Amino acid sequence: MRKAVLVTGASSGVGLALCKRLLEEDHELHLCLACRNRSKAEAVRTALLASHPLAEVSIVQVDVSDVRSVLRAAGELKQRNVIHMFSTAEGLLTQEDKVTADGLQEVFETNVFGHFILIQELAPLLCHSDRPSQLIWTSSRNARKSNFSLEDIQHRRGLEPYSSSKYALDLLSVALNRNFNSQGLYSSVVCPGTMVTNMTCRILPPFMWTLLMPIIGLLRFFANAFTMTPYNGTEALVWLFHQKPESLNPLTKYLSATTGFGSNYVTNQKMDLDEDTAEKFYQNLLELEKHVRATIQQRNHQS
């Protein structure tokens, strides 16, 4: 059987770079592009197949900030029965937040809850004790314990929704390992480093990035987190792709790093969390899932 990989946010940034690198590693990979914009996904699929004709590249349309979209996509994927590994894209690189159609905070739903629902739906495909499956979450060095609260998991009252959501991913990964390792499902988290992508370019005008690039280039000699490009940022993701998931430390975050001379490598750090908090957060997500599903069923019944 072909190894199958599903990549969310695959039409640009880290997601797209990861697709390209994975196909370089395995020319016969079955790659599933999970994207919000189907036309962009189709263009990416065409380009990937042009350079890797032996690969199998499929598309599933999904907006992870909309639970109904996630459920539809999960149903489609169950019918295809192709899932083996997950890798998130980079998420929102902004501190701005708003409420989604599901009544949830957008950063939280996009980075955490939408993907959680997807995993819940696809658990029958992922859980096989004789054939391990691997989840890889794109977290961040900016995942701060101080920005997360179990009493406000969506970060409605805070000013750092991005940092909170990434710390929540760290917790979720630990909880998933605790609850699903015995069923053959393993979870890891990575940080792609600091990169210039379409999203980060929105933070500052283009001329500012032009001025900053030489400075950032110098900083790479002192701080290995400046990976600069999505290609470099996928280093840890590609490294994990080659590992046996059951051999990895569930409390470790794997970091993409780049030297001042442009060489990529992987480093790691112990995550600043405890398993009891991770389990409590996981139970909170399960309760929120029940509430959201009930609301959706009510809406469907009314319509």
Which residues are known catalytic residues? Answer: 162
What SS3 state is found at 79? Answer: helix
With residue 23 as reference, give the H or E element that holds it. helix 13-25
- What are the start-end ranges of the E strands in 210-251? none
Compute φ and ψ for 208, nearest 5 degrees: -70, -40
The one-letter amino acid code at 81 reads N
Question: Beta-carbon neighbour count of residue 61 at 10 Å?
Answer: 15
Torsion angle (degrees, nearest 10) of CA 105, 109, 111, 113: 140
Provide CB contacts within 8 A for 154, sequence distance 6+: 104, 105, 108
The one-letter amino acid code at 158 reads G
Specify burial of residue 25 (Cβ count, 10 A radius: 0-12, 13-18, 19+): exposed
What SS3 state is found at 42? Answer: helix
